[in-house]
């Protein structure tokens, strides 16, 4: 499917996740975050960069992995990305939804 985000046409799946990570940039990220009612802060960007790095290394993502990362504690992760933090943060980061998310 095609969707216009930040005045750019991007490819998304049926859940709204980007199909092609190369289409992601900060403007696209800000728009997706806005759709999720998330206002990006430096801590959000730090988490997004961590998630993208893990994705590029083809390492699986999980809440437990986030907890052990040292990037953010779980309480803060839930506060930054309320309503399904891993699902929402990966959507904003422009990477596929982790298999651990339903």
The active-site residue, picked from 29, 31, 36, 101, is: 101
CB 18 within 8 A of CB 94: yes
Over residues 46-75, the pLDDT tens digits come to 999 999 999 999 998 988 889 899 999 999
Domain that holds residue 65: 2-93
pLDDT at residue number 100: 72
pLDDT at residue number 102: 65
**Residue 88 domain-assigned?**
yes
**Residue 101 domain-assigned?**
no
**Residue 37 domain-assigned?**
yes
Block mean pLDDT (10 aa), the chain, length 102: 93 94 95 96 96 94 90 94 94 88 68
**Residue 11 domain-assigned?**
yes
Q: What is the DSSP string of the chain?
A: -EEEETTEEEEB-TTS-BS-GGG--HHHHHHHHHHTT----HHHHHHHHHHHHHHHTT----HHHHHHHSS--HHHHHHHS-SSHHHHHHHHHT-PPPTT--
Q: Is 31 assigned a catalytic role? A: no
């Amino acid at each position: 499917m095609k969707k216009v985000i930040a005045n750019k046409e991007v490819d998304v799946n049926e859940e709204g996740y980007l199909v092609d990570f190369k289409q992601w940039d900060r403007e696209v990220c800000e728009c997706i975050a806005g759709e999720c009612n998330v206002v990006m802060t430096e801590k959000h960007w730090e988490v997004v960069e961590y998630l993208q790095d893990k994705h590029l290394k083809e390492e699986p993502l999980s809440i437990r992995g986030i907890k052990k990362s040292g990037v953010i504690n779980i309480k803060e992760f839930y506060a930054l990305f309320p309503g399904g933090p891993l699902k929402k943060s990966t959507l904003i980061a422009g990477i596929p939804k982790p298999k651990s998310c339903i």
